Chain A
Amino acid sequence: MTSFFVNGKAVHVDVDPSTPLLWVLRDSLEMTGTKFGCGMALCGACTVHLDGKAIRSCVAPVSRAEGKHVTTIEGLSENLTHPLQKAWIEMDVPQCGYCQSGQIMSAAVLLAENSKPTDQDIDDAMGGNICRCGTYPRIRRAIHRAAELAGQRSAK
């Protein structure tokens, strides 16, 4: 039995502890917002937060989450109010949308650590997330916009 928290809620799963966290989230917990893209930590579609750090859940054994806090795209906000979600909607970033959970989760860690990222900071932080539809120019714009929105929010 592995016990951890997902989006603040305690969960207990009875799976082989070497099972990647991704498949525990998707198949055992039926939380499908976190995506499978490569299985080798190459594309970032499976990005979630483990105690606030971005990890690729497709290669992270669930045992790594024991006792820790996992945040998935479903837990980012309750009603699309996270600055990144607002900015993503404002800039109409997604096309097919499949990679966007991972993009947003990577961007969330960037913004948490760097409230005013430059283009270079964005390139450095987001380089592990592939978008086959080619939404990169909009991702860049939306992260800047989210930083702005977050700034406004904290200024209030």
Chain B
Amino acid sequence: MSAPAIVGRREFIRVGAAVGGGLLVSLYAPLPGGASEAWAADEKNFPLNAFVRIGTDETVTVIAAHSEMGQGVYTSLPMLLNEELEADWSRIRVESAPVDKVYNHPVFGMQMTGGSTTSPAEWERYRKMGAMARTMLMQAAAKQWNVDVSSCRAEKGVVIHAASGRRATYGSLANAAAQLTPPAEVSLKPAKSFTLIGKPTRRLDTPSKTNGSAQFGLDVSVPGMLTAVVLRPPVFGGKVTKLDATEALKVPGVKAVEQVPSGIAVIAQGFWPAKLGRDKLVVTWDPGPNAGLSTNQMLADFRELAKTPGNIAKKTGDPAGALKSAAKTITAEYDVPYLAHAMMEPLNCVVDLRADSCEIWTGTQFQTVDRASAAKVAGLPPEKVQIHTTLLGGGFGRRANPASDFVVEAVQVAKVAKAPVKVVWTREDDLRGGWYRPMWHDRFEAGLDSSGNPVAWTHTIVGQSIMQGTLFEGMMIKDGVDGTSVEGAADLIYGVPNLQVDLHSPKIGVPVQWWRSVGHSHTGFSVEAFLDEVAHAGGKDPYELRRALLASQPRMLAVLDLAAHKANWGATLAAGVGRGIAAHFSFDSYVAQVIEASVEKGGVARVHRVVCAVDCGQTINPDTVIAQMEGGIIFGLTAALKNEITLKDGKVVQSNFHDYQMLRIYEAPKIEVYIVPSSANPTGVGEPGVPPVAPALVNALFAVTGKRIRRLPIRPSDLA
């Protein structure tokens, strides 16, 4: 194996031979104190740490450091790499990375997928490794032919020396390339030379998702494996006081009933006996301190709390003075509920725990944290724990659990099962299992000048902190303000000279978590709906007012204009149909949406058309951008029209898709997505489509009914 090459200041690219032949390339991110050098030189670890493996059989395996949960990274990461590698696209395969610090997220410093960051974070790394691999292969060919490497070119997995007509495939060069010393630097193509990046490209994972062969966590089976379901307390934090498992143990196939810290595990031969056994458990619970929790009471408490000053997240100008001297003021309060992620694949985790090792199979977004958490429970050093990341049947944030809840529990069950075990969550377990998007209350006051322009804007936010108690706490909570609680509000994109945003973060015993678009999921709604109120209070067109307030935000302005233009903003609509607009900046991307909606008999809101414009910088796979906008819009509509998790006497009321409903195909509107061409670095795509949906919808419903909806989900009684 060759010495590591220095790329940039403190990164090392390492190339070498694969076990059994072939070329491996890996990139080692900088570590404090120059530790990368030693790390990259580690002979034992290197073969396991590659990002790309070029086989002598011509296959090119891209190792994905990020999880595929539908957002398309198992296609976009290979696209980045192959833009430079120039291999035959039909030969590309994808594997999920094992857990290793080499695969740490270049920004977050841990192996994870989230925050709509895969493309922005990997924009350079995967291209660099592709470039290095191609360079080595070309050098191997040039050496073999005794020609200058600059007289060769690479195309579809073949190095070509045009002058002599000689050709060699990557597979035939891989072993020789692995013996060469890599160049000190590689250069990347300019954007104008891209042949793959920015071109609509079919996803590599689609065929396996149309014939049942795609393997999700729930599909994993290992020899001797048992299946467990866990009965968890009906109230968060509850404890078992009395357990009678007699009847459960009589169910054929049930092997054991064991208490674990999270509840009672029924361990059986397969899911069905485990579930039947669980149904027969007789348990007395001590509900604990959360027995009195009620979301109705919380709603009232939040509203009171919002009338008192919170921790200041943002203050510019003199908001109080400007409100006092304003020609007109308006106030409004907005509320959104707890929401479950409700991925179609319920949570699950397979654990094979041995005396000196622990092997885990699961669909996770949070490998580093899960491994550390599992190791602690297993009583093993982290390097003795390996996680096989499967495809994720949806994530939306839930599979990046700060406490590794579903992984830790599975290791605990494995400890008592004394056999490999798969823990399966039912839909009821999922919806009642907590880790929700927090309930939020947003209270606004705006002051308008005599021309109807907003000159003062105050926004008080009440809701649980997501980051508190997580390993992101130090990074994300400053002066008592969790940045994710106020994102999209404290960084208000509109030019209002006197602005104040303050925050209350009550502590409540309901576990909360990031949910697709995180804080933007409430600020996008409340800010954009309130801005519509401000426009009407000032006698202005909501689109024109936004334009005026975006004078110093050219990218957002362009997106807003594009959406309005494509939606024929201002043109007459059919009777009974209203049009609403909203724009929101999140995950460094700009999105605007125009929605056309009407109200059916009985007050049911009907969404006809959604026009969406997005600027997410340079697109990698534009078709994936469109798909993520489409999906984000449906996700946002589901939240706007259908979902709430409520608690009564400490218990979650909802349990399955009959009372926690998803938007259905017959409710899905026509969606049009327009991408603003850009050569700026890529920005987020998975989440930014969600925040503008609910406000564009309530603004459209106001346009047609004159009724303001300030609480989600939208209820027929709001519109009837």
Contacts and interface: CB of A to CB of B under 8 A. Distances in A.
Interface string B350-373: 000000000000000000000000
Chain B interface main SS type:
loop
Contacts of B342: 132
Contacts of B218: 32, 35-36
A124 interface: yes
A54 interface: no
Contact of A40 (B69, B394, B657): B657
B664 interface: yes
A42 B215 contact: no
A30 B225 CA distance: 13
Contacts of B662: 43, 130, 132
A43 B627 CA distance: 21
Interface in A17-50: 19-20, 23, 26-28, 30-40, 42-43, 45
Contacts of B212: 31-34, 72-74, 101
Contact of A95 (B70, B272, B656): B70
Interface string B314-353: 0000000000000000000000000000111110000000
Contacts of B343: 96, 98, 132
Nearest to B72: A95
A101 B218 CA distance: 14
Contact of A76 (B208, B211, B658): B211
Interface in A130-153: 130-140
Interface string A114-136: 00000000111011011111111
A97 B214 contact: yes
Contacts of B219: 26, 32
Contacts of B208: 97
Given A89-B206, A127-B664, A132-B343, A23 B70 contact: no
B272 A133 contact: no
B531 interface: no
Contact of B665 (A16, A40, A42, A140): A140
Contacts of A70: none
Contacts of A6: none
A104 B202 contact: no
Contact of A43 (B215, B344, B623, B638): B344
Contacts of A129: 665
Contacts of B213: 33, 74
Interface stretch (B109-117, B157-165, B180-188, B629-637): B629-637
Nearest to A37: B344
A45 B656 CA distance: 14
**Centre residue among B218, B631, B658 by max chain A CB count within 10 A:** B631
Contact of B394 (A89, A122, A132): A132
A65 interface: no
A94 B205 contact: yes
B270 A137 contact: no
Interface residues of B, number: 62
A111 interface: no
Contacts of A16: 252, 272
B426 interface: yes
Interface in A42-78: 42-43, 45, 72-74, 76-77
Interface stretch (B38-46, B590-598, B666-674): B666-674
Contacts of B275: 39
Mostly, the A contact residues are loop
A39 to B, nearest CB: 6
A96 B391 contact: yes
A35 to B, nearest CB: 7
B569 interface: no
A129 B212 CA distance: 16
A104 to B, nearest CB: 6
Contacts of B207: 80, 85, 89
Contacts of B664: 127, 130, 136
B270 A138 contact: no
Interface in B190-242: 202-203, 205-216, 218-219, 221, 227
Contacts of B424: 36
A23 B657 contact: no
A89 B202 contact: yes
B656 A100 contact: no
A37 B393 CA distance: 10
B634 to A, nearest CB: 3
A119 B125 CA distance: 44
Nearest to B215: A32
Contact of B69 (A35, A96, A123, A138): A96
A92 B623 contact: yes
Nearest to A101: B212
A115 B18 CA distance: 51
A38, A97, A123, most chain B CB atoms within 10 A: A97
A20 B275 CA distance: 12
Select the residue from B71, B208, B344 with max chain A CB neighbours within 10 A: B344
B663 interface: yes
A80 B206 CA distance: 11
Contacts of A74: 211-213
B170 interface: no
7 contacts: A23-B272, A38-B427, A39-B275, A96-B68, A96-B395, A132-B394, A132-B396
Top-10 shortest CB links A-B? A33-B212, A134-B634, A98-B393, A97-B209, A95-B70, A96-B70, A123-B666, A32-B219, A73-B212, A136-B668
Interface of B: 68-72, 202-203, 205-216, 218-219, 221, 227, 252, 270-272, 275, 342-346, 391-396, 424, 426-427, 623, 627, 630-635, 638, 656-658, 662-666, 668, 670-671
